[in-house]
Every structure is written in C-alpha cells, then in structure tokens.
Amino acid sequence: MITRLLVANRAEIASRVFATCRRLGVSTVAVHSDADAALPYVGEADVAVRLPGSTPAETYLRVDLLLEAARASGADAVHPGYGFLSESADFARAVLDAGLTWVGPDPSSIEQMGSKIESKRLMEAAGVPVLRNHSVDDASEADLPLLVKASAGGGGRGMRVVRDLADLPGEVERARAEAQSAFGDGTVFVEPYVERGRHVEVQVVGHRDGVLVLGERDCSVQRRHQKVVEESPAPGLPDAVRGALHEAARAAAAAIDYRGAGTVEFLYDPATERFFFLEMNTRLQVEHPVTELVHGVDLVDLQLTVAEGGVPDPRAIGETYGHAVEVRLYAEDPAADYQPQSGPLSVLEVPGVDARFDLLNRPGVRLDAGFAGGSEVSTHYDAMLAKVIAWAPTREQAVRRLADTLARTRVHGVVTNRDLLVQVLRSPDFVAGDLSTAFLTDHPALAPAADPGAPVAAALALAEQARAARRVQGRIPVAWRSVVSQPQRTELDHAGDPVVVEWWGGRDGYTVEGCTVVAAGPTEVVLERDGLRSSYAVAVSGPSGREVVDVDGPGGHARLVRVPRFVDPAEQVAAGSLLAPMPGTVVSVAVEEGQAVVAGQPVLVLEAMKMQHTVSAPADGTLARITVQPGAQVAAGEVLAVVEGEVA
C-alpha cells in the first residue's frame, strides 16, 4: 500500500491529489519551484521539497530532481498530475526503476498513446475511426484548413490552424518550438481541421480485470484550442452515438491493456453523426471533476487503487445523475486575444462554495483553486487560476447556478476571463446546447458591455478614501466650496480607454450627472440610475495619484487606473514603439535594424506561460531600433523595438 505520495506537479492539481490523500490517510510530498514557493499547495503537503529555479526546464521537467525529492522525503509513490512529465514514458520508467510506485499507466501504454502519430495508426488497426495525417510536402489547397498539432502534448501548446498553404511551413516550425518548450519534444503532425465539430471525450479507468467507462464530457468551448468550458454528460448526443463513443473508448483502452485513469478524445461532427479519434490522454484530465460529480466517484482514489494492484469496486461507482458544468478561470485578457496575465493576485473570492476538491452530497458549487488572494501569478506556467464547477439535477439548473456564482466572484490584481465566462454561460446558444469548437469565434459579441456606473463608483471611492486619510478637517465634505464654479474631474484609464468622471461634492453629499448617489464610502458606492439602484464593491490599491481601482457591480468587474495629473517625461515612449504585451522571454527576432516593415509584419516572438506570442509592426516604416535579443527576459510595457517613418 502507498504510504507517502509525491506529486510531481504544482498548483491546483497538486492540491486536488492531496485532498484525496488526506481522506485516505496517505502522507503527501509537494515539490515547488522558487516561483511557486508561496502557493497554497506547498503548505497543504506534509513535506515540501524545493526545486531550485523557476522555469519548467529547471524544475518540474527535471527527472533527476524529482527522484531525489522522492528519496529525500521518504515517498514510496509518485503521482504525475497533468502537464509536465505526466505522459512521459521515460519518467514513468525512472520512477519504477527507483523502486517507487507509479500512479499511472504502464510506460509501454504511455509510449503507444504518447505519439499522436503512432496512436492513430494503432487505433485504426483496432477499428476506431481516425482522421488522415498530412505532411508539409503532400498537403494541398483542397485539404485546407489544416491543424498542426504537437505529438507529445496538448492544452493548445504546439497547435496552429493553417488556412493558407503558404503559411504551413512557418506554422509547423512555430508549433515545433512551442511543443519543445512545453513538453521537451518538438514532434508535430498535420491533420484536417473540422471547423465546427464538437470535442467529446470519454473517461476510462483500466484495471487488471477490464475497462470501466465513466461516461463522456463535452469540451467544445475552447480558445486557442484549449478548453474553457466542460460538461458531463455531453448535451444533445443521440443515444446511438453516445453508446458508440463509449464502446470505441473501451476498445481503445483494451487495445493497449490500459491501467489507470485515462481519457479518449474524439472529434464529433453533428451534421453526419460521425466521430473520429483525436488522441488518448494517459493521465487525469483537468476537467475530471464533472465526471466525478455526475458519477459520485473520486477518480484520484481509483487511480491509487489501481496503482496498488486493486480493482475498483463497481458498487462504489454511482449511476449517472444530474449534470455538471465546469469553467476554467484564467489570468488572461480576452479583449487582447487572450494574452496571459501575470502579477500579484490581491483578491480571489468565490461565493457559495459547497466543496473544495471533493464530491458534493447535494446540488451546489465545487471550487478547485491553485491560487488564493495574495498569490503571485508567474509568467513561467499555465495561466489557470481555478476551476469552478456546478452540479444540479438538470443542465439548465447547473448552468444558471454556475453563471450566478461567477457573476458574484471577485478577482482583483490581474485581468481574467471571468466576465467572458458569465457571458458564455448566459448565451442563448450555449443554454440551448448549440456547441462547437468555433463557439467563441462565432460569438464575438460575447465581450461584456462596460458598466457606466463603475467609473463613477471608482471616482467617488477615491474621493472618500482621500477624506478618510485626512489628518485635519475630516468632517468637511469632500470638494466643498462656498461658491461652486466647476465640477471636480477624476481621470481614469479603463483597458486603455480614457474615462473622465465629473462630480460635485457638498454638504448634501455627491452629485453626478445622470445618476443619483445614494451612498458613498471608500469600499462601497450605491448609485441609482433610471429608477434602478445598484451597489458597487470597490477596492483601491497602488501608490497615491496612480491608484488601481477594482469595481465589482451588476455589470461585472472593471479595473480602472487613475491617470496622474502630471506625467513624468521619462515614462513617455516614442511613437512607433513596440511594447512587450506581457512579461516573457524573447524567443526570436525576425527582422534587422534598418529593414523596411509593413503593418502587421512579425517582428519578434515572445514566450510567456508556455505559449508563444508574435509582436508585429504597428505601421509601415523602417525598423529603426531593436532593444532586445533572443533569450532576453522582458517586463510588460518594455520597449522591444521602434518603427519610424513610412516605407518610401
């Protein structure tokens, strides 16, 4: 039996495995990079071991360091989590060769399914339908659009859609570089891209006596080919298709004598009711909680049972009941092409949580979070902050419950996709179950509208904060004048757009054109507009004169920054400057100083949070200056290059 388990991973997944271990009485070991030292999972473990460094290559991808941590901590088993080395056959063998229990499938199974190229050949031989592979040389215009995919990984890394055949070689090279950085393997392949298919996957648990099939999940709502919303059961599947998917997944697992938890992923075409094998993930999936809630089963518990040589008791696995929906809360900016964000996370408050990393005994909300208020979001890893999951008797009830919970969630410090998730869940098409992998592309209007009350609440809260900070004359009304000549002006920046709030202060309180100020304080402002009264929660941080104001109200969250009255000339940048959109590492520079460029032409590539981001020329001109070289670490807002003039 396992007595002490090391989780060779970080953040939310480590906390998830630790939760099951506590319930089973298994001691736990955390490993952490320097960047992760203060995250919650480190304190949740019985023992923690430092991995010196911050990048994945220095820490979580170092097999030697992980095995040394297991030896030093007295661990007798290793759980790989997901991502990093979770699907590395070499790591699995190294763990077994060290005399430790590997909580995962046999290394040979990982190898067979670890190469998406070889796994498709194996599945085709087993009678599972697959999509044809292409190469740079044999692809034609008739095959477009195409999808370049990393053979060794997932999560959107090393994945590119190609709509112009001339772009294929370059996208293949970029996908290789991204896959090499994320998984240590740059092998990629090319297959047809089904524009509006559905991503449906089946959960299996293989053991010595056979294969358990625990239903399916729909993971079609994606951005950058990475899942954002997942649910179980998949809505609207014909019974015949559902049964065929389950049997195909069972056949896939049986073909390699699979042991442990795994997921067989399919692309389903609703128009033809056909489906195709995509890949098999030989590990636990990020979205496993929705399966747990509808089946009443702890998948990590089943993993440990199989790893110890046992067989899961079918009586402990409940029949499918109800519906579960999960969203991934990311530190990213949907308005800026989902650019990942980093920095201090000052507030993370999810209301009405009924369970954390656990099953629910009644309909409610589960939270699996790897971060907490006060945590630092690093540039080195995935941008997911938490998973919020709702379970209810019907899909409609689960979706409504989850949308309401998210709408009342407070996240401050970094830009997130919270408001976008609320809009998705409340979209009529999503509620109707009209899903595809192009959902977010087909719904550009899902970006939330600005709440006009948020800037007003921010301005008045700043005024009240200034009054509270007074050492003298604290009872005099804010901005009181015996003769009023003009309103006070508070200038704010909202996502790059200037906002000016004009207001009057006096003995009778505040006056703002267009609304009535019912109450105002440093942390809460109540406004009435067109007969509707709304309350805004306000949090102010940052230095005086440049305060950051987070406002949570009926229109969602708004992050506003006070614009200083006087700008330091040293902080101004030249016109045509290319600024780093986020902290990261310069991967490559595509042009040279003095070279003519056109608007939109790639100038350099940044890597942040295991994804590569192209920085392009803002206008036609000449690249007058490059300030960085490949390998350089840059901060958000740092000048990378300058484009001057226009091409003659």
Omega within 30 of 0 (cis) for the link into 105? no
Confidence of residue 235 (pLDDT cuts 50, 70, 90): very high
Determine the Cα angle at 261 with ends 256 and 267, to 5°. 75
Q: What residues are paired with 325 via a beta bridge?
A: 231, 390
Q: What residues are paired with 30 via a beta bridge?
A: 7, 48
The pLDDT of 117-128, averaged and rounded, is: 89
The pLDDT of 464-489, averaged and rounded, is: 71
Tell me if 551 sits within 8 A of 558, measured CB to CB: yes
Positive/negative CA dihedral, 98, 99, 103, 107: positive
Of how many residues is the chain composed?
Answer: 648
> Which tens digits make up the pLDDT trace of 269-312?
998 899 999 999 999 999 999 999 999 999 999 999 999 999 99
Q: Which of 432, 421, 427, 411 is nearest to 390 (CA)?
A: 421
Using CA atoms in the order 305, 309, 315, 321, what is the torsion angle rounded to 10 degrees? 50
What percent of the chain clears pLDDT 70, i.e. is strictly above it?
93
Q: Is the pLDDT of residue 595 over 60?
A: yes
Tell me if 317 sits within 8 A of 323, measured CB to CB: no
CA distance 438 to 441: 5
CA distance 350 to 411: 9
CA distance 214 to 644: 59
Unique residue bearing structure tokens 């595509």: 590
Tell me if 5 sits within 8 A of 30, measured CB to CB: no
The pLDDT of 82-100, averaged and rounded, is: 96
> Which tens digits make up the pLDDT trace of 601-628?
889 888 876 677 788 888 888 988 898 8
Indicate the SS3 state at residue 76: coil
- Per-residue confidence (pLDDT) for residue 648, from 0 to 100: 43
Positive/negative CA dihedral, 34, 40, 43, 49: negative
- Per-residue confidence (pLDDT) for residue 538, from 0 to 100: 96
Confidence of residue 533 (pLDDT cuts 50, 70, 90): very high
Longest dimension (CA), the chain: 88
What percent of the chain clears pLDDT 90, i.e. is strictly above it?
62
CA distance 131 to 527: 56
CA distance 40 to 14: 10
The pLDDT of 94-123, averaged and rounded, is: 93
CA distance 509 to 181: 57
Phi, psi of 136 (to 5 degrees): -60, -35
Q: Which of 43, 88, 25 is nearest to 61 (CA)?
A: 88
Q: Is the pLDDT of residue 504 over 60?
A: yes
Q: Is the pLDDT of residue 549 over 50?
A: yes
Question: 142-171 burial, b for 16+ CB within 10 Å, e for fewer?
Answer: ebeebbbbbbbbbbbbbbbebeeeeebeeb
Three-class secondary structure assignment of 580-621: CCCCEEEEEECCCCCCEECCCCEEEEEEECCEEEEEECCCCE
Q: Is the pLDDT of residue 568 over 70?
A: no
CA 121 to the chain's CA centroid? 31
- Per-residue confidence (pLDDT) for residue 372, from 0 to 100: 96
Q: Where are the alpha helices (DSSP H) in 256-323?
A: 288-295, 299-307
The pLDDT of 312-340, averaged and rounded, is: 89
Using CA atoms in the order 409, 340, 290, 279, what is the torsion angle rounded to 10 degrees? 170
- Per-residue confidence (pLDDT) for residue 142, from 0 to 100: 75
Tell me if 204 sits within 8 A of 211, measured CB to CB: yes
Indicate the SS3 state at residue 495: coil
Tell me if 587 sits within 8 A of 601, measured CB to CB: no
Q: What residues are paired with 279 via a beta bridge?
A: 265
Tell me if 380 sits within 8 A of 33, measured CB to CB: yes
Tell me if 131 sits within 8 A of 276, measured CB to CB: yes
Residue 356 neighbours by CB distance under 10 Å: 13
State the chain's mean pLDDT as an integer. Answer: 90
Q: Which domains does the chain have, with CATH numbers?
A: 4-103 (3.40.50.20), 198-446 (3.30.470.20), 453-562 (no CATH), 569-644 (2.40.50.100)
Q: Which of 167, 171, 178, 120 is nearest to 141 (CA)?
A: 167
> Which tens digits make up the pLDDT trace of 414-442?
999 999 999 999 999 999 999 999 999 89
The pLDDT of 109-129, averaged and rounded, is: 89
Q: Where are the alpha helices (DSSP H) in 366-515?
A: 395-407, 418-425, 428-431, 439-442, 453-468
Q: Give 513's contacts (C-beta < 8 A, 6+ positions apart).
A: 502
CA 171 to the chain's CA centroid? 23
The pLDDT of 537-561, averaged and rounded, is: 91
CA distance 427 to 445: 10
Q: Is the pLDDT of residue 647 over 60?
A: no
Q: Is the pLDDT of residue 572 over 90?
A: no
Crossing angle of helices 418-425 and 395-407, rounded to 10°: 150
- Per-residue confidence (pLDDT) for residue 566, from 0 to 100: 65
> Which tens digits make up the pLDDT trace of 127-157?
998 887 776 777 788 778 888 887 766 666 7
In terms of pLDDT, which residue wins out, 62 or 606? 62
Confidence of residue 170 (pLDDT cuts 50, 70, 90): confident
**Distances in Å between the alpha carbon of 361 and those of 50, 355, 365, 579?**
37, 9, 11, 50
Q: Which of 301, 404, 296, 317 is nearest to 360 (CA)?
A: 296
pTM over 0.75: yes
Determine the Cα angle at 268 with ends 265 and 271, to 5°. 180
